[in-house]
Amino acid sequence: MGEAGGASTLHRVRGVLGIPAFRRLWIVNTMCGTCDWLTLLALSALATKLTSGYQAQSFALGGVVATKLLPAMLLAPLAGAIADKFDRRRTMVICDILRACLLISIPVVGTLAARDIALGWLFIAVFLIEICALFWIPAKDAAIPNLLKRPDQVETANQLALVMTYGVAVVTAAGLFSALSAIGPTFHVPLSSESTVYIALGINAIAYISMAIMVGTRIPEISGRARREGKVTSADTPNLLVMLRDGMRFVGTTPLIRGLVVGILGAFAAGGAVIASAKLYAGSLSGGDAAYGMLFVSVFVGLGTGMFIAPKFTERLAHNRLFGVAIVSTGLLLMVVAIAPQLWIALLAVIAVGLCAGVAFLTGLTIIGTQVDDAIRGRTMAFVQSLVRVVLLAAMALVPVLVGLVQSQNLSFFGTRIDATRPVLLGAGLLAAVLGIVAYQQMNRTSKSLVDGLFAALRRPSRTDSGLLIVVEGETVEDTGDQASLLADWLAGADRDVVLIADPTVQEHQFKVALAATAITGPRSSALLAAAVRAEIVDTRVRPALREGAIVIMQRFVHSPAARLGAAAGLDATELDTLSDWASGTLRPDISVLLDRGPTAGPQADPAQHWRAQHLISELAAERYVVVDAEGPAIEVGQRVRLALRPVLSSRQIEVSEPARMEVP
């Protein structure tokens, strides 16, 4: 569930950066991102300096990139298992120290050994450095949710990390490398190009040592409380082979993660196709290197923009649905790129492709951070991160081959020769769209169609009032009454008016008596009746209070009676959703609290119908609901409700203090 609109980006960022442990890790992550990009620039430049001839330099340059990607193909599952088995803080410290040593070794070998040996060691060092990064990243990513105060902060935390890694860090690294390269000519210092690279590597080595010190001494929270207190050790967890097996089984058998994997295949296959064919595609638009550069930059501009605005979409659409919608949109927009007749159209379409891919990537990481258990999060993160790299590498390697094969067919359309990049991009877009549909079906918990999701993501929220509607749904009137009253008492401490609307069973009963006199007692007519009663309450009490900016707490909104009566009548979620939208005028709660209790005992009880009704309620309110265990004393259940609601209230900048004592009215 996304943050219920209202919290500004600045407010969310301040809330996350206000946590000391996360702020320190964020600084470390920013330093790491800058070092990674600077290392890539420096080593790519060094590889070309250690070779001669255009062909050899091209091979060396490609070899550096391929060597960086190779460990992800071979060791990603192992890296994830290590992140879950061993102390994550120690893993990060060891990796940073090893990276510093490897970076120092490159200028040492380059100075003392022949060029061929220096080039060979450069490739080996790049491979080993990337292995360290492969172990470091899942340990860091898996630790982030444990440093935050609330689950709703995971999205903002990932947003900050990705914007820095793929935005600010890239610019900083490029600027630093350019500045180092300009020192010699500007100040007339006798520095060779190799010496400039060695200085850059030395700066990175110092940075990695600084990161190891900060992680090791200033962020003990990365280890987790249980490990810091010595309650959990690596010996308490299964061996690595068992963890690898369990991790792969989890990815393969969990619909949520399976859909995530399928969607990532589609999104980054599309992105890789754009990057790999950009040079030739620019030629088909009668553009040269300038057009190629603009297309390349446009992908990353779109990615950064998508990561920045993704939380706005989650105000309208649940993460699970938004992910599939973003993947399908990526594919459809890539098909627009394939048929774009002019450069400016292609640039806009490429930015849009990157934007949707950025939304999907941030949403996917947020899903893992909030919906995957900490014990297996490292393996899941490692698998997804490595999948991104492998898919990009495969697309960038396969697309040029496909373009060459298509080019040999001399395709034409109405006598006009078609550039080979066009059908390849069209096919990649179609593949991404199909995989996005599969991902949506795997991850979607509601009866909402993909088209509904597309429109929901694009349209503005229909609510224009400043109020907050909280609905309490439950098995019995007693349960919902107790919790609605406790909630109203708690929220009375906020600086907003609170309106409590009890379950309208009395009015409903009066109408049922009237219907019984006409022999109309079927479940369908009862569902219509319940919807009609609540439609009156929505129009006369709920909407006016919301327009005044009040917090409205209502028992058993339209969804609850519609689901319970609909379950008896055999209605499906689509029919009930239509009925609920009609009765409420498409008004949806900001959040629904679903009190989860087992079926009542007794000769009249129907457990199957009970669970069907519970399932229908969760489907009807799936974008804005939390499930709270309703077993136990009302006071304990009330504490669970308050804990579940705090993220939503915080996103609306509503602060509520705990009362000294709470009693059931």
Helix 559-569 crosses helix 607-620 at what angle (to 10 degrees)?
Answer: 140
Please give the residue that has the higher pLDDT: either 95 or 253. Answer: 95
CA distance linking residue 380 with residue 249, whole number of Å: 11
Question: Is residue 555 classed as helix, strand or coil in its secondary structure?
Answer: strand
Average of per-residue pLDDT across 612-637 = 66
pLDDT-based confidence at 2, cuts 50/70/90?
very low
**Amino acid 155: pLDDT:** 75
Q: HSE-up of 192 (CA within 13 Å, CB side)?
A: 8
115 and 228 co-located in one domain: yes
Q: Are 106 and 125 in contact (CB under 8 A)?
A: yes
Q: What is the CATH number of the domain that holds 491?
A: 3.40.50.300
Is residue 296 in some structural domain?
yes
Do 377 and 475 fall into the same domain? no
Do 499 and 608 have their domain in common? yes
Torsion of CA 284, 290, 395, 360, to 10 degrees: -110
Pick from 114-123, 287-296, 508-517 the range whose average pLDDT is largest: 114-123
2 occurs within a structural domain:
no
Q: Taking the alpha carbons of 298, 300, 304, 309 in that order, is the dihedral positive or negative? A: positive
155 and 66 share a domain? yes
- Listing DSSP states for 416-476 in one string gives EEPPTHHHHHHHHHHHHHHHHHHHHHHH--SS--HHHHHHHHHSPPS--S--EEEEEE-SS
Give the DSSP letter string of 211-244: HHHHHHHH-GGGG-HHHHTTS--GGGSPPHHHHH
Question: Which distant-in-sequence residues (6+ apart) come within 8 Å of 175 by Cβ?
Answer: none
Selected residue with higher pLDDT from 73 and 231: 73
| Angle, CA of 12, 16 and 22, to the nearest 5° | 160
Distances (CA, A) of 366 to 147, 237, 323, 377: 14, 26, 10, 12
Query: Which pLDDT does position 379 carry in this prediction?
Result: 74
Q: For position 269, which CATH number holds?
A: 1.20.1250.20
Highest mean pLDDT among 125-129, 175-179, 244-248: 125-129
Q: Supply the pLDDT for residue 235.
A: 47
Most confident of 7-11, 72-76, 505-509: 72-76
Specify if 663 maps to a domain: no
Distance CA 422, CA 281 (A): 8
Looking at the fold, whether 172 and 255 belong to one and the same domain comes out as: no
**Inside any domain, residue 513:** yes
Q: Where are the alpha helices (DSSP H) in 285-342?
A: 289-313, 319-339
Q: How many CA atoms lie within 13 A of 234 on its CB side?
A: 13
CA atoms within 13 A on the CB side of 235: 2
Mean of pLDDT values over 205-211: 97
Domain end point (choices 439, 461, 483)? 461
Please check the confidence at residue 133 and state whether its pLDDT lies above 80: yes
Query: What average pLDDT does the segment 602-628 reach?
Result: 54
Q: Which two structure tokens, joined as six digits, stand for 84?
A: 């879950």
The token pair that represents 136 in the structure block: 């470091």
Judge whether residue 519 has pLDDT over 70: no
- The answer to whether residue 661 is domain-embedded is no
Instruction: Please state whether beta strands 412-413 and 416-417 pair in parallel, antiparallel, or not at all (unpaired).
Output: antiparallel
Taking the C-alpha atoms of residue 101 and residue 95, their distance in angstroms, rounded to an integer, is 10
Please indicate, yes or no, whether residues 455 and 480 belong to a single structural domain of this protein. Answer: no
Q: What is the pLDDT of residue 449?
A: 59
Residues 366 and 393 in one domain: yes
Where does the pLDDT of residue 69 fall: very low under 50, low under 70, confident under 90, or very high at 90 and above?
confident
The residues, any chain, with a CB within 8 Å of residue 364's CB and separated by 6 or more, are 260, 263, 264, 323, 384
Q: How many domains does the chain have?
A: 3
Q: Which pTM value belongs to this model?
A: 0.61
Domain limit, last residue, from 209, 237, 265: 237
Residues 173 and 287 in one domain: no
Express each pLDDT in 530-580 by its tens digit: 777 778 888 888 888 888 888 999 887 755 555 555 555 555 555 666 666
Q: Which residue has the tokens 């120690």?
A: 90
What's the Rg (C-alpha) of the chain? 29
| C-alpha span between 545 and 552 (Å, rounded) | 7
Q: Is there a single domain that holds both residue 354 and residue 492?
A: no
The verdict on 550 and 590 lying in the same domain is yes
Least confident of 2-6, 265-269, 381-385, 615-619: 2-6
Residue 551 lies in a domain: yes
234 has pLDDT over 50: no
Nearest to 486 by CA among 553, 541, 561: 553
Per-residue confidence at 25, pLDDT binned at 50, 70, 90? Answer: very high
- Give the pLDDT band (50/70/90) at residue 71: confident
* In a domain? residue 660: no
Flag whether pLDDT at 601 surpasses 50. no
Helix (H, G, I), strand (E, B) or coil at 592: strand
Cα(581)–Cα(531) distance, integer angstroms? 10
- Cα–Cα distance list, 326 to 257, 263, 371, 387, 437 (Å): 16, 9, 19, 18, 10
What is the amino acid identity at position 64? V
Percent of the chain with pLDDT over 70: 72
Mean local confidence (pLDDT), 418-447: 81
If we measure between CA atoms, which residue out of 210, 212, 208 comes closest to residue 99? 208
* Domain identity same for 229 and 305: no
pLDDT band (50, 70, 90) for residue 163: confident
Please give the angle made by the CA atoms of 292, 297 and 298, to the nearest 5 degrees: 95
The string of pLDDT tens digits covering residues 457-481 is 555 555 566 788 898 887 777 888 8
CB of 157 closer than 8 Å to CB of 8? no
By C-alpha distance, which of 353, 368, 168, 340 is closest to 259?
368
Cα 16 to the chain's mean position, in Å?
16
Q: Label residue 453 by pLDDT band (50, 70, 90).
A: low
Please indicate, yes or no, whether residues 23 and 125 belong to a single structural domain of this protein. Answer: yes
411 neighbors 423 (Cβ within 8 angstroms):
yes
Q: Please, are residues 622 and 317 in contact by the beta-carbon 8 Å criterion?
A: no
Give the pLDDT confidence score for residue 602 in this predicted structure.
Answer: 47
- Share above pLDDT 90 across residues of the chain, in percent, rounded to a whole number: 15
Look-up of token digits 């193909």: 73
Spatial CA neighbour of 2 closest among 629, 636, 633, 625: 625
Domain that residue 613 falls in: 468-651
- Pick the last residue of a domain from 206, 237, 268: 237
State whether residue 10 is helix, strand or coil.
helix
Q: Where does the pLDDT of residue 661 fall: very low under 50, low under 70, confident under 90, or very high at 90 and above?
A: very low
Calculate the average pLDDT of the chain.
Answer: 77
Would 664 be classed as within a structural domain? no
pLDDT classification of 624: cutoffs 50, 70, 90: low
